[in-house]
Structure 1
Amino acid sequence: MKIAIDAMGGDNAPKAVVEGCIDTANEYDIEIFLIGNEKEVEKYLNGVNPTKGKIHIVHADEVITGEDTPVQAIKQKKNSSMVVGLKMVKDGECDAFLSAGNTGAFLAGALLKVGRIKGIDRPALAPLLPTEKGVCMLIDAGANMDCKPKNLLQFAIMGAIYMEKVEGILSPRVGLLNVGTEEGKGNDLTKQSYELLKNSSLNFVGNVEARDIFSGACDVLVCDGFAGNVVLKNTEGLASTIFSLLKEELMKSTKSKFGALLLKDSFKSFKKRFDYKEYGGAPFLGIDGIMIKAHGSSDSRAIKNAIRQAKLLYDNGCIDRIAMDLKDTGVNDVEQ
């Protein structure tokens, strides 16, 4: 497998990106193309390639920053690390692209430079959320603010394929994010989407309220990008607050400090389940190539896990399977 990586994307680039790539290349059979300022990248490789030629540097003298306007940046910064990497996938030089950079530019660039899988109207961002039963895919988490019922059906199909192929879940349970569990709940979008999902071949378990996500009510949670992004940001904020409040309480007395010491390993394990670094990144499903969006604050461990995630998508042929299933289900005949 060959993967193109935006060496300049993210708060800790290029150091964390390069270090994550070195760790990955030493462990997996992957050929990595680090794209960015050659001198900066070489500095963190220490002038020595310890990975037996598995890491290559592709020079790009422009960088898309968080302040750049997404579409404008993609069109104007043609020699940026992000655009060069996307083009390598489009041209067949690499099998996947990964970036921790500007999310809007990443999504726009993937659409403009790589293109969609035939039959997909709207690609979707699909992070994994921790639950009592494992993980749940949230799709869409912010790529599409406004959606049609047909889009949500396509999201569900893509999410189910990922969870089956990558997470090994047979017949993944698909839920529709809603304000209640009853069939008639919600707005026009959720009501019409409910009917499409119910009449599909998917293992649809009905409406799922936000409070039930983390109890493991479903394996794939479908929604429009606006609602999904609210869920994602709320999850990140709540988890951070819970850990901060817990730490504050545990530090209040000698007795609680002693108890915390005894439970140290359990607390670490609990915190790890909510750590985005463990999940690597969110796949941008529906693009005709493997696209992984890593968190902007990714460290080397997060980058390594994001590359591992891309490899799982590649090894399990998820892109081809999505295209095949869309054709077989006749979802493109749906007019909604």
Structure 2
Amino acid sequence: MGGDFGPHCIVPACLDSLVEYPSLQLILVGQPSVIEALIAEHPAVDRSRLRIHPASEIVTMDERPAQVLRGKPDSSMRQALELVRRGEAQACVSAGNTGALMALSRYLLKTLPGIDRPAMVTAIPTARGSCHLLDLGANIDCSAEHLYQFAVMGAVAAEALGIVRPRVALLNVGTEEIKGSQQVKLAATLLQQARELNYVGFVEGDGLYRGEADVVVCDGFVGNIVLKASEGLAALIVARLEALFRSGVGPRLVGLLALPLLRRLQDDLRPARHNGASFLGLQGIVVKSHGGAGPEGFRSAIRRALAEIRENLPQRLHGRLEQLLL
């Protein structure tokens, strides 16, 4: 029921995902009358793989996490996480209030042993493929130990998704050892001592997009700004190219020739393709969809949850944490 568009976006995305993944089963948590009306617009849907779990309350995007924890026991967000806690669902995907989702996830699912705080991670496009960036906003102020834990979790997640010995780096204002805040320097010292990790040092913002690392770690304040700036820049590049190709007869002819390449660029850069941030460090799978994402973006978030289910990511994390945490 959350996000900028609520069930009017999420229900169609879920129905399309059922078609895309024949083994997928979905539980839609929220107000049954609203959800049923939207499902009725798609009479061909396979209802045998879809059920509705009622929840009478909705978490709004501006509510404080503490208020949601105390005052909304029957919210769709809480009920969805309860299904994961009880083992009735293998993952929760939500487009709702990020702070409330994180607070409820920590309260209901708990963190893995050795992890103080969960971290939000997503894959962003780079010149060499993609890079796992964390934290994306769940933890604004982080100690060196938190950054170290994020690095461990990011490395294990990258391995689970097919990257052999992922290169781990700290996002910093320079690559020299003397650069950066005190906590970043201390985190670098911890990572240098972790021989199980393939730590490659500091990386700057431009190095992030050149693909100099497979996992890049920062606090949530920095990570959220990087993510939002990246989305804005991608939209600007595409808009500028389109404007240039419309600026005259010659550019229009060039644009017609370049149209297939432009469409491929749009496809590679559009945020919807990379939507879905995982809450790493929980004893369950939770994926946060961007609140402003459309149906395509929400399908990407479901796709990420499916990948983590296939790889049994929380259990894999748990199995490696004892080896890697100091």
Paired AA for residue 68 in structure 1 = E
How many residue pairs end up in the alignment? 323
Paired AA for residue 181 in structure 2 = N
| Equivalent position of 1:291 in the other structure | 286
| Equivalent position of 2:78 in the other structure | 83
| Equivalent position of 1:4 in the other structure | none
Quick check: 2:2–2:61 contact (8 Å CA) kept in 1?
A: no
| Equivalent position of 2:5 in the other structure | 12
Instruction: State yes or no: 1:40 paired with 2:34.
Output: yes
Quick check: 2:235–2:270 contact (8 Å CA) kept in 1?
A: no
Q: Gaps (5+ residues) in structure 2?
A: none
Please say which of residues 130-139 and 233-242 is displaced more in the overlay: 233-242
Matches for 1:21-170 after TM superposition, within 5 Å: 21-28=14-21, 29-46=23-40, 48=43, 50-166=45-161, 168-170=162-164
Identify which of 239, 242, 264 aligns with 2:259.
Answer: 264
Alpha-carbon distance in 2 for matches of 1:328, 1:212? 29
Alpha-carbon distance in 2 for matches of 1:296, 1:194? 33
Paired AA for residue 191 in structure 2 = L
TM-score (norm 2): 0.95
| Equivalent position of 1:217 in the other structure | 212
Q: Gaps (5+ residues) in structure 1?
A: 1-7
How many Å apart are 1:89 and its aligned residue? 1.0
Quick check: 1:98–1:292 contact (8 Å CA) kept in 2?
A: yes
| Equivalent position of 1:318 in the other structure | 313
How many Å apart are 1:161 and its aligned residue? 1.4
Paired AA for residue 228 in structure 2 = K
| Equivalent position of 1:5 in the other structure | none
Paired AA for residue 237 in structure 1 = G
Question: 1:169-227 deviations in whole A, cap 9, x for unaligned?
Answer: 10011111011111222121111111111111111111001111111010100111111
Paired AA for residue 59 in structure 1 = P
Quick check: 1:49–1:55 contact (8 Å CA) kept in 2?
A: no
Paired AA for residue 188 in structure 2 = Y
The ranges of structure 1 where at least 4 consecutive aligned residues each deviate by more than 3 angstroms after the TM superposition are none
Identify which of 225, 236, 242 aligns with 2:237.
Answer: 242
TM-score (norm 1): 0.92
How many Å apart are 1:280 and its aligned residue? 3.3
How many Å apart are 1:49 and its aligned residue? 6.5
How many Å apart are 1:52 and its aligned residue? 4.7
Question: 1:138-160 deviations in whole A, cap 9, x for unaligned?
Answer: 11111111111111111111111
Report sequence identity in percent: 38
Question: 1:13-62 deviations in whole A, cap 9, x for unaligned?
Answer: 21221111112222321221000110110111117472251010011111
| Equivalent position of 2:165 in the other structure | 171
Quick check: 1:100–1:295 contact (8 Å CA) kept in 2?
A: yes
Q: What secondary structure does 1:127 align onto?
A: strand
Paired AA for residue 241 in structure 1 = L
Please say which of residues 191-200 and 48-57 is displaced more in the overlay: 48-57
Quick check: 2:169–2:217 contact (8 Å CA) kept in 1?
A: yes
Question: What RMSD over aligned residues (CA atoms) do the two structures have, in Å?
Answer: 1.4
Please say which of residues 99-108 and 48-57 is displaced more in the overlay: 48-57
